[in-house]
Amino acid sequence: MPVSVTSSRLIYDALKACDVRIISALPETWLVHLIRMADEDPEMTLVRIAKEEEAIGISAGAHLAGVNSALLMQNHGFLAAINPIVSLALLYKIPLLMLISYRGHMGEKDPWQTQGGMVTEPVLRALNIPIWHLNNPGDIDRRLKDAQTLAHASLHPVAVLLSRELMWED
Amino acid sequence: MLRADALQAIYPELEDRIVVTIMGAVAVELYMLGHRHNFFYLEHAMGLASSMGLGIALSIPEQKVIVLDGDGSLLMNLGTLSTMARYRPGNLLHIVFDNESLLSVGGFPTATGTGTDLAGIARASGVPQVIEANTCESLKDAVTRALASNTLTTIVSKVEAVGPKSFHMDLPLLENRFQFKRCLEKMRQK
C-alpha cells in the first residue's frame, strides 16, 4: 500500500512533540500507519470510534480534563461531524486539532471521493476554521505545533489538511 | 418514577463526582437540586454527553465520571455504546433516563416506546455491566454497586415523561464550561 510511512512517522512524532496523549480515529486508507503507530505506542490512548461525531465529544472531554488530544479523520468524517463541531466545539469554545486526510482533491482517482474533496475547504471556511495545508515533510513539525498553539490560544478548532503529495507515494 | 425524584435519590452520589448531563429536563432538574462546579450540562450536541464522559474518564482515570443520558440522546449516538464497551473505563458510569419521549421539544415518542430496548443494546454492544432500575431505591442501589465495582456500567431507568415547569438555568454556558474545567484540573491534581 503506497501510503507514506515516512510522512506518517514525521506526523506521529510531531503529535508526540505537541504532547498529544489521546488520539481518536476512524480508519481510512491514508491514516493506516498513523493509527498503527498510535496503537503500538504505550504512552498513547487510541480511541477507535464508530463515527467521527464521537471524536468531538471525546476531545472536548479530554480538553476539559486538561489533556491534549488530536483527531484523525477523513474529510468525509469531518463532514459527518459538523453538528458537534458547531454545537459543542464552537459553542463551548473547545480547541480541536483535526488532522484531515484530504481525499477527492487533485490526483484523486476514486470518483466517490470527489464531491467531498470539492466542499471540504468551503465548509471549513464557512465554519471559520483556520486551515493549514500539509504538503511538504519539512513543514510538518512547525505547522502541527503552530496549529495546536492557535487552537489553544483561540479556544477554537483548527484543521490540518493532509495532502496526497504528503501521504501517497505513487 | 419521576426523574426529579430519581436524581434526588442519587444526588449524594453525584455531589462530589464529575458529572456530565445532556440538555433539557435532566440538566435543569440536577441544577435545581444544587449546582456544583463538577457538574457540566451539555446544552446541545445531542448524543455526545457519553462521548465527553468517555474522554474525561480516559483522561482522569483516578476519578469517577457519571454521565446522565436520555433515550432520545442515546438513540442519536448508539455507536457510543460500542466505543465505551471497547475501552470499558472502570471509572465511567452511564445512567440513561428513558422517558420514551423527546420531552423538551413537545413530547414526541421515541423508539423506546415502541420496543427498542436500550439496556439490551448496551449489553449486546459489550458493556460489561448493565442494570435496569425503575424505582428510586433500586436506582440508588445500582449506582452504589456500579461505583464500587470499578466496572463500566450502563444503568437504564424508565421514568415518566414529566419535566420541569421552566428550562431556565441561571448559568451561562461558558461560565459552566470554565468552572468545570478549573474544577477538573483541581480534581486531577488530587
Residue given cell 448524543 in the structure block: B47
User: Please, is A133 exposed, middle or buried when counting C-beta atoms within 10 Å of its C-beta (0-12, 13-18, 19+)?
Assistant: middle
Work out the average pLDDT over B114-130: 98
- As for how many domains chain A has, the answer is 1
User: Average pLDDT of chain B?
Assistant: 96
Query: Can you give the pLDDT at residue B56?
Result: 98
In order of their start, the domains of chain B are 3-189 (3.40.50.970)
B12 pLDDT more than 90:
yes
Work out the average pLDDT over A122-147: 98
Work out the average pLDDT over B172-178: 98
B162 touches chain A (CB under 8 A): no
Per the CB < 8 A criterion, the answer to whether A47 and A19 are in contact is no
Query: Can you give the pLDDT at residue B134?
Result: 97
Cα(A115)–Cα(A103) distance, integer angstroms = 9
Which domain does A76 fall in, by range?
A: 5-167
Contact between B45 and A54 using a beta-carbon 8 Å cutoff: no
Cα(B3)–Cα(B162) distance, integer angstroms = 8
Output the nine-digit C-alpha cell for A64.
476539559
Contact between A92 and B52 using a beta-carbon 8 Å cutoff: no
Adjacent-strand bridge partners of B37: none
Q: Phi first, then psi: what are they for A74, rounded to 5°?
A: -80, 165
Contact between A56 and B83 using a beta-carbon 8 Å cutoff: no
B189 pLDDT more than 80:
no
pLDDT per position as a tens digit, A89-109? 999 999 999 999 999 999 999
| A51 DSSP 8-state letter | S
Most A CBs within 10 Å: which of B52, B60, B69, as the mutation test of the A interface? B52
Percent of chain B with pLDDT over 90: 94
Contact between A62 and B56 using a beta-carbon 8 Å cutoff: yes
Query: Can you give the pLDDT at residue A109?
Result: 94
Query: Can you give the pLDDT at residue B41?
Result: 98
Query: Can you give the pLDDT at residue B118?
Result: 98
Query: Can you give the pLDDT at residue A153?
Result: 98
Output the nine-digit C-alpha cell for A118.
470539492
Contact between B56 and A49 using a beta-carbon 8 Å cutoff: no
Based on its alpha-carbon atoms, the radius of gyration of chain B, rounded to whole angstroms, reads 15
B104 pLDDT more than 90:
no
Most B CBs within 10 Å: which of A47, A64, A67, as the mutation test of the B interface? A64
A24 pLDDT more than 80:
yes
Per the CB < 8 A criterion, the answer to whether A79 and A28 are in contact is no
Query: Can you give the pLDDT at residue B103?
Result: 84
Residues of A within 8 A of B52 (CB-CB) are 57-58, 60-61, 64, 88
A66: left (phi over 0), alpha (psi -120 to 50) or beta: left
Adjacent-strand bridge partners of A100: A73, A161
Work out the average pLDDT over B45-66: 97
For residue A89, what is the nearest residue in chain B, using CA coordinates? B45
Which CATH number characterizes residue A50's domain?
A: 3.40.50.970
Contact between A51 and B79 using a beta-carbon 8 Å cutoff: yes
User: Average pLDDT of chain A?
Assistant: 97
3-state secondary structure of B58: helix
What is the helix (H) or strand (E) element at residue B131, kind and residue range? Answer: strand B129-132
Q: Are strands B101-102 and B108-109 parallel, antiparallel or unpaired?
A: antiparallel
3-state secondary structure of B35: coil
If we measure between CA atoms, which residue out of B38, B51, B6 comes closest to residue B179? Answer: B38
Q: How many CB atoms lie within 10 A of CB B105?
A: 9
ipTM over 0.85: yes
List, in sequence order, the alpha helices (H) in A41-163: 52-64, 75-80, 82-84, 114-126, 140-154
